[in-house]
């Protein structure tokens, strides 16, 4: 499995999930363009990628500014001559009850999370259509499926990403479109939230699989991190200290010990499970 020769453009790539995806893609052989507002952060990520022996370019970008996004895509194409993978990860949030929320705060969240994602997708899609191939991965959230108090703007923006991506996947045949719905991930945005948080590398692992040529998921698929985590939580205790020749052998070993919900999720995600359980194979 390799991303050798691929060029990935990642927004919100200076820290958190975006940084983790950028580094994992580079580990698999991709060259990376990292975009975000904070120049020092994306410069640091680009240097780290270059030290891995991959090409990387940091482009400061304001996701609320159409011209800035257009500049990002045009500079990427000028430097590399193609864009194989787009990861729309840039995101912001505001915490307030609806009754107290300022219009400008709501607008900022929608501008970055939804409008900026749309513009970046549209501009990149024009490159991918000429190439007759490409992969777009949009980072949504579990909060885009189930609303949360005090986060109405964020939830609305992430719900919008889900339906936007679904629509796009039905328009395009040559370009694959996927959505990842993370759970609670350890990032700057979630610092004030309670609950158990997972490493951003959990999401980068999913994104890498989606970007690989070996990916067998149909375009339009929504990957829910919590469902994959639940599969692993159910299966891993049953196979500790053991290895198997392949996923099918592993599955036959544990199948009778799993409940119907886990079995349903295994059927849904079966094409990724050899990759997800590779430490046992």
Give residue 190's pLDDT band: very low, low, confident or very high (50, 70, 90): low
- pLDDT at residue number 183: 82
Task: Give me the mean pLDDT over the 25-39 stretch.
Answer: 98
Q: Give the chain's mean pLDDT.
A: 95
Over the stretch 211-234, which tens digit does the pLDDT of each residue have? 999 999 999 999 999 999 999 999
Spans of all domains in the chain: 7-220, 229-280
- Residue numbers annotated as active site: 154
CA atoms 112, 115, 182, 149: torsion sign: positive
Burial-class residue 254 by CB neighbours within 10 Å (0-12, 13-18, 19+).
middle
How much is the pLDDT for 94? 93
Sign of CA dihedral 155, 15, 220, 32: positive
Give pLDDT, residue 116.
Answer: 98
Looking at the structure, give the CATH architecture of the domain made up of residues 7-220.
Answer: 3-Layer(aba) Sandwich (3.40)
Give tens-digit pLDDT for 53-86: 999 999 999 999 999 999 999 999 999 999 999 9
Question: Among the residues of 132-259, which ranges form H helices?
Answer: 152-171, 201-211, 225-239, 247-254
Closest CA to 215 of 101, 156, 137, 163: 137
What's the rounded mean pLDDT across residues 259-278? 96
What is the number of residues in the chain?
281
**pLDDT of 88:** 98
**What is the spatial distance between Cα 256 and Cα 169, in angstroms, rounded to a whole number?**
36
pLDDT digits (tens, 9 = 90+) for 230-251: 999 999 999 999 999 999 999 9
């Amino acid at each position: 499995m390799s991303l050798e020769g691929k060029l990935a453009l990642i927004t919100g790539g200076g820290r958190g999930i975006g940084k983790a995806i950028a580094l994992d893609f580079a580990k698999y052989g991709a060259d990376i363009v990292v975009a975000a507002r904070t120049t020092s952060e994306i410069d640091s990520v680009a240097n780290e990628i270059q030290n891995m022996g991959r090409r990387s370019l940091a482009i400061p970008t304001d996701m609320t500014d159409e011209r800035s996004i257009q500049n990002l895509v045009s500079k990427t194409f000028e430097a590399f001559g193609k864009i194989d993978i787009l990861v729309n990860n840039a995101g912001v949030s505001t915490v307030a009850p609806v009754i107290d929320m300022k219009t400008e705060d709501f607008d900022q969240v929608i501008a970055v999370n939804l409008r900026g994602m749309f513009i970046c997708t549209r501009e990149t899609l024009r490159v991918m259509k000429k190439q007759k191939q490409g992969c777009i991965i949009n980072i949504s959230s579990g909060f885009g499926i189930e609303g949360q108090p005090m986060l109405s703007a964020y939830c609305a923006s992430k719900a919008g990403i889900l339906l936007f991506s679904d629509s796009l996947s039905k328009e395009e045949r040559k370009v694959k479109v996927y959505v990842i719905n993370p759970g609670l991930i350890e990032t700057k945005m979630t610092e004030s939230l309670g609950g158990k948080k997972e490493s951003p590398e959990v999401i980068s692992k999913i994104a890498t699989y989606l970007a690989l040529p070996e990916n067998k998921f149909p375009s339009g698929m929504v990957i829910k991190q919590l469902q994959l985590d639940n599969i692993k939580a159910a299966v891993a205790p049953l196979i500790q200290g053991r290895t198997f020749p392949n996923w099918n052998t592993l599955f036959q070993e544990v199948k009778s010990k799993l409940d119907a919900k886990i079995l349903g999720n295994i059927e849904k995600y079966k094409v990724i499970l050899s990759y997800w359980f590779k430490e046992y194979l």
